[in-house]
Structure 1
């Protein structure tokens, strides 16, 4: 009998490319809910790789807690400082209270008013990229989510470049010190902004969140600072990675680009495939508060559970030919925005930006070529391209 050897999900450099998809495929087929204890992790955790198991974990807000952290590698003291004060690391009733307030700027009514501005930003970025092709298209694409979210949040135009740079440092810097420092600077920025707005009331976005609304629900200034940082990050990094992944696939697969260019596939449909394919949020962590069963495994109270969105989005039980990029894929039930109570607040905005990008490409770009080696950031949490040598041809 052949002994199966589990591949190392935490091999250094694994996420610097796309080889981890083969590792996920092995686990889905052989050990879909596996016990992992990587170097430097004294406690270990359950690793969940199949789509339906991932969904069950995300939708279980009774026996699964987010308040003890939502990503691997988080320092306990850092999580403790924001637990039940920041939406992504909160459980009911605090999560329910904060979400009721924080979701308002992302309603369909509000975002419909932002659609024209999104189109303008995207058109400007694409026009610049066509006129002045550079060695790295990422430098242009990152302007789309940064400019849009900063404008929606009413942040001073002079701060946008700094904000984009600090957000990238907070998530992608190889230096832990630099990541911590960048996060601290972002928190201080919003703390100063909230305090100033209490005096002047000039920022409509912040004033709207601090006003008595939704049946009297409020958020404190401390909660507001933490969640403004979360909104900024959620509306910036992940969309940039999806735009980059989409562009790379269209450059590598001209047949897929032709389908979009001819109008055979609607941009909104292709947007969903871009989201499935890119997986900017690679994993999510939860902690069991009660005993429960995931697949064939009994999880004990206090044990951590990590769901791999990147694996769920390639599960052949749910997606036909999942390793093929198909802009016309129908019934695309990807989990890139999560599922259940913690589904991403900015999902509508992300879809708006990606769809606008595709519409603009269809009008202004004839073809695109890959003229170098793309590079990935190597993160197993917020994963994506950080170098994209693609040229857009008018």
Structure 2
């Protein structure tokens, strides 16, 4: 790239492939905290691409606020409706209060009891994929996070397919109208469920959460609804993208697959490389509440700051050979779950599912073949594969 001309980070179609990594590399080397004002955005923002700068933004909950939204392209009215009522768009003390309650179902103890179910779901999905190959393996893989999070939340089995589709629409639809509508459908679903459970107490997940809120801290029904939606999305979309990216890389790099198949690499280690590589949450938005310096740049109060996780995960100062997929990579300090107070609530569950998937592949699958070109969704927010022509072989 021309070192004197900044590449366009918002070129149409850039995220429909992987060439944006070259753009990130340019910014890391030449303009790590750059001013951007893409078409369609009402105002500009600072774009942060280096690892340590990204971490500093995420950890600074005093001067970097989430209340004004956490992604580009969000409607102000939608953000205002959930501000300080939904974990991902809240600041302390509201964030602390809500997280203290909501993190309980994702403790090591509770997830330890769910491990056998996760293994069963993964084994069933892989067995089905072996017996009934699809042109798009994602049609099988998407069942893993959907079935697991829906089961943990105690949602009716008959609703799982609908829930998966609505969650995808809420985050991935190119239409803002459709995203808002899908989120509205999910909010209504949980509103009805919380109301019904107040009367019948038949959902153990909701009852467990609401039981804890009878003493301080207490969540309102509205906060429960918004955060159940967030838990559903966090447990569904991002894990699916990591499973797809990991499978793609194993099929494309047989040497890495052989390391898994032979048992040379611990699945827990390979899981971290899958997370670093897949970057299901590509960017995070914050708003400065007071003047703050990031790198060599002074950020003014009220200005927006966007951190690019995809760039941080390829920072040459942190990762050796960052553009190489290495299932045995150790000391893998990726930021795919974020950093600081807003680190992903479901990170333990995601790791559990991905590691179970790798163990199952090792025990049930002989080889993986890539049968065509994979297709990316083109999003600069929840980025990943939405079509993966990989076939698993016994």
Task: Specify the TM-score bucket, using the shorter chain as the normaliser.
Answer: over 0.9
Cα shift readout 1:236-280 (whole Å, capped 9, x = no counterpart): 000000000000000000000000111110000000000000000
> Are positions 1:229 and 2:229 aligned together?
yes
Task: Count matched residues.
Answer: 393
Shift of 1:25: 0.2
Asked if the contact 2:136–2:387 (Cα under 8 Å) also holds between the matched residues in 1, the reply is: yes
Q: Give the TM-score normalised by the residue count of structure 1.
A: 0.99
SS of 1:236 mapped into structure 2: helix
Q: Using the alignment, how far apart are the partners of 1:142 and 1:100 within structure 2?
A: 29
Q: Using the alignment, how far apart are the partners of 1:46 and 1:226 within structure 2?
A: 28
Shift of 1:137: 0.3
Q: Using the alignment, how far apart are the partners of 1:158 and 1:108 within structure 2?
A: 28
Q: Using the alignment, how far apart are the partners of 1:214 and 1:317 within structure 2?
A: 48
Shift of 1:215: 5.8
SS of 2:273 mapped into structure 1: helix
Q: 1:3 to 1:145 in 2, by over 3 A?
A: closer
> Which residue number in structure 1 is paired with residue 87 of structure 2?
87
SS of 2:46 mapped into structure 1: strand
SS of 1:235 mapped into structure 2: helix
Shift of 1:180: 1.6
RMSD: 1.0
Q: Using the alignment, how far apart are the partners of 2:75 and 2:312 within structure 1?
A: 26
> Which residue number in structure 1 is paired with residue 163 of structure 2?
163
Cα shift readout 1:337-389 (whole Å, capped 9, x = no counterpart): 00000000000000000000000000000100000110000000000000000
Cα shift readout 1:84-128 (whole Å, capped 9, x = no counterpart): 000000001100000000000000000000000000000000000
> Which residue number in structure 2 is paired with residue 104 of structure 1?
104
Q: Using the alignment, how far apart are the partners of 2:220 and 2:42 within structure 1?
A: 35
Asked if the contact 1:125–1:140 (Cα under 8 Å) also holds between the matched residues in 2, the reply is: yes
Larger mean CA deviation between 207-216 and 290-299 belongs to: 207-216
Asked if the contact 2:118–2:356 (Cα under 8 Å) also holds between the matched residues in 1, the reply is: yes
Shift of 1:213: 5.0
Asked if the contact 1:49–1:308 (Cα under 8 Å) also holds between the matched residues in 2, the reply is: yes
Shift of 1:170: 1.2
Q: Using the alignment, how far apart are the partners of 2:207 and 2:200 within structure 1?
A: 10
Shift of 1:156: 0.4
Q: Using the alignment, how far apart are the partners of 2:369 and 2:212 within structure 1?
A: 52
> Which residue number in structure 1 is paired with residue 296 of structure 2?
296
> Are positions 1:217 and 2:217 aligned together?
yes
Q: 1:342 to 1:352 in 2, by over 3 A?
A: same
> Which residue number in structure 1 is paired with residue 182 of structure 2?
182
Q: Using the alignment, how far apart are the partners of 1:212 and 1:46 within structure 2?
A: 40
> Which residue number in structure 1 is paired with residue 150 of structure 2?
150
SS of 2:18 mapped into structure 1: coil
Q: Using the alignment, how far apart are the partners of 1:215 and 1:100 within structure 2?
A: 12
> Which residue number in structure 2 is paired with residue 70 of structure 1?
70
> Which residue number in structure 1 is paired with residue 266 of structure 2?
266
- Deviation above 6 Å: which 4+ runs of structure 1? none
Q: Give the TM-score normalised by the residue count of structure 2.
A: 0.99
Q: Using the alignment, how far apart are the partners of 1:214 and 1:200 within structure 2?
A: 17
Q: What stretches of structure 2 of length at least 5 have no aligned partner? A: none
Q: Using the alignment, how far apart are the partners of 2:275 and 2:318 within structure 1?
A: 15
SS of 2:34 mapped into structure 1: strand
Shift of 1:42: 3.1
> Which residue number in structure 1 is paired with residue 379 of structure 2?
379
Q: Using the alignment, how far apart are the partners of 2:99 and 2:135 within structure 1?
A: 41
Asked if the contact 1:279–1:309 (Cα under 8 Å) also holds between the matched residues in 2, the reply is: yes
Shift of 1:17: 0.4
Match runs of 1:1-394 below 5 Å: 4-213=4-213, 216-394=216-394
Q: Using the alignment, how far apart are the partners of 1:101 and 1:201 within structure 2?
A: 18
Asked if the contact 1:101–1:214 (Cα under 8 Å) also holds between the matched residues in 2, the reply is: no
Q: 1:91 to 1:262 in 2, by over 3 A?
A: same
Asked if the contact 1:98–1:219 (Cα under 8 Å) also holds between the matched residues in 2, the reply is: yes
SS of 1:337 mapped into structure 2: coil
Cα shift readout 1:6-25 (whole Å, capped 9, x = no counterpart): 00000000000001000000
Q: What stretches of structure 1 of length at least 5 have no aligned partner? A: none
SS of 1:334 mapped into structure 2: coil
Q: Using the alignment, how far apart are the partners of 2:63 and 2:115 within structure 1?
A: 39
Q: 1:4 to 1:100 in 2, by over 3 A?
A: same
Asked if the contact 1:100–1:214 (Cα under 8 Å) also holds between the matched residues in 2, the reply is: no
Asked if the contact 2:101–2:212 (Cα under 8 Å) also holds between the matched residues in 1, the reply is: no
Cα shift readout 1:58-100 (whole Å, capped 9, x = no counterpart): 0001111000100001111110000000000000110000000
Q: 1:239 to 1:3 in 2, by over 3 A?
A: closer
